[in-house]
Amino acid sequence: MNKSFAKTESKSLLIGSRFVLLTTSGFALAIVAALTSSSKAVLVKLIYQQAALTPLELLTLRLVLAAPLFTILAFAGKQPVRADSNGETRFSSWLLVAWLGFSGYYFASLTDFIGLTYISAGLERLVLFTYPTFVLLFESINKRALPSGKIILAVLICYLGLSLAFAHDLTLGTNLSATWKGVAWVVLSGFTFSLYYMSTNRGVYYFGVTRLTGLAGLTASLFTLIHFAISGGELTRILALTPDSWFLIAVMAIVCTVLPSLLLVKAITKIGPALTANIGALGPVITILLANVILGESMSGLQFLGMTAVIWGVSQMRPVKVKQEKDCKAVFKRKCRFDTSSNKPAHRLANQ
């Protein structure tokens, strides 16, 4: 009896320690991803100051320089063995890769780069940081459940803070119309990125973290090159870039693109999309500080209050919970169905 109890207790401790380790590593990955990605806006602003590049030209250079690393990741990553796929990748899975490359790496980045031509790096990061509210919206629709009153209040406070940050930029004498345009482009970027965010777990299920990151990056590079060719992009400005500009673009391509992309997807698989999004609270703080030191962007009490409200609001958001039967527990990649005839929970594998 005692041996059985000790064995059960040791097994519970082992499972608990593994869960803590998994969660801790997921948080660490999400933090590093937030730190590396938060410097992107500052680098983009620096590049715009040094070179007369269009957003599309800059995005093209960014992905072209990152393409070799994406290729390595695509071929070095191991394909997960799925019992229900017989070792073959479905056509729908490749369509999912194309969607992830289009939404997360191409379109969200392009609209963000366009927005940065109108607004400051600090405001851009705060606007983009509100994408967890879109994640929350999609989760609510998917689960057919409304968020709690506390979460709704957090969303309202989040956007109140965003309005304060918006007002800060207006006090700098910026054009109202240009500021609205910039905010609109970045909101579109955040909306698109949230769609990418919600789709990553399914892609990881079929391709794995490393391979999915590489494949999605290569797909985005293809979309960008096609856009560049169709738009009649010129190589004159690109060839005239200084070594300093090339260095900044290379740093942005590797440190602010490939690295956070890999870490972000890995973090999502460990702690989920909602918690990973919440950890990005470090991003706006780092961006605003870097923008102040490197770009000379001013800071004010209004911006600080706005930043605090946005970060607090996003940090209070949690995944939408669905009321379930007491004994019915949902597991990873499974949907829970309650058997009313036997009053016992019955699990069935979710359709992939």
pLDDT tens, residue by residue, 269-312: 788 776 776 777 677 778 888 888 888 887 777 878 888 887 78
- Residue 10 pLDDT class (50, 70, 90 cuts): very low
Query: Does 88 lie in the same domain as 162?
Result: yes
Query: Does 330 lie in the same domain as 266?
Result: no
The one-letter amino acid at 127: V
Question: What is the DSSP secondary structure assignment for residue 295, as one 8-state letter?
Answer: I
pLDDT in tens, 153-205: 888 888 788 788 878 777 776 678 888 899 999 999 999 988 888 888 788 88
Question: 44-53, 85-94, 180-189: which range is least confident on average?
Answer: 85-94
Within-domain flag for 307:
yes
CA 44 to CA 285: how far, in whole Å?
17
Question: What is the DSSP secondary structure assignment for residue 345, as one 8-state letter?
Answer: E
CA 284 to CA 300: how far, in whole Å?
15
- Residue 16 pLDDT class (50, 70, 90 cuts): very low
Within-domain flag for 6:
no
pLDDT for 24: 53
Within-domain flag for 4:
no
Query: Does 176 lie in the same domain as 112?
Result: yes
Query: Does 99 lie in the same domain as 237?
Result: yes
Give the count of domains, the chain: 2
In the chain, what's the furthest Cα-to-Cα distance? 80
Measured at the CA of 124, the angle between CA 220 and CA 44, to 5 degrees, comes to 55
pTM exceeds 0.85 for this model: no
Query: Does 330 lie in the same domain as 206?
Result: no
Within-domain flag for 9:
no
* 306: Cβ contacts below 8 Å, ≥ 6 apart: 126, 161, 162, 163, 164, 165, 166, 167, 168
Within-domain flag for 271:
yes
Mean per-residue pLDDT for 222-228?
94
3-state secondary structure 30-53: HHHHHHHHHCHHHHHHHHHHHCCC
The one-letter amino acid at 98: A
Domain that holds residue 271: 15-321
pLDDT for 57: 92
Query: Does 186 lie in the same domain as 142?
Result: yes
Query: Does 85 lie in the same domain as 180?
Result: yes
Within-domain flag for 7:
no
pLDDT for 80: 64
Within-domain flag for 8:
no
Query: Does 282 lie in the same domain as 138?
Result: yes
Question: What is the DSSP secondary structure assignment for residue 334, as one 8-state letter?
Answer: E
Query: Does 251 lie in the same domain as 292?
Result: yes
pLDDT for 178: 87
Query: Does 346 lie in the same domain as 248?
Result: no
* 90: Cβ contacts below 8 Å, ≥ 6 apart: 206
Using the CB atoms, write b or e for 90-104: b if 16+ within 10 Å. eeebeebbbbbbbbb
Query: Does 347 lie in the same domain as 280?
Result: no
Tokens found for residue 270: 């460990």
Query: Does 179 lie in the same domain as 126?
Result: yes
Using the CB atoms, write b or e for 197-227: b if 16+ within 10 Å. bbbbebbbbbbbbbbbbbbbbbbbbbbbeeb
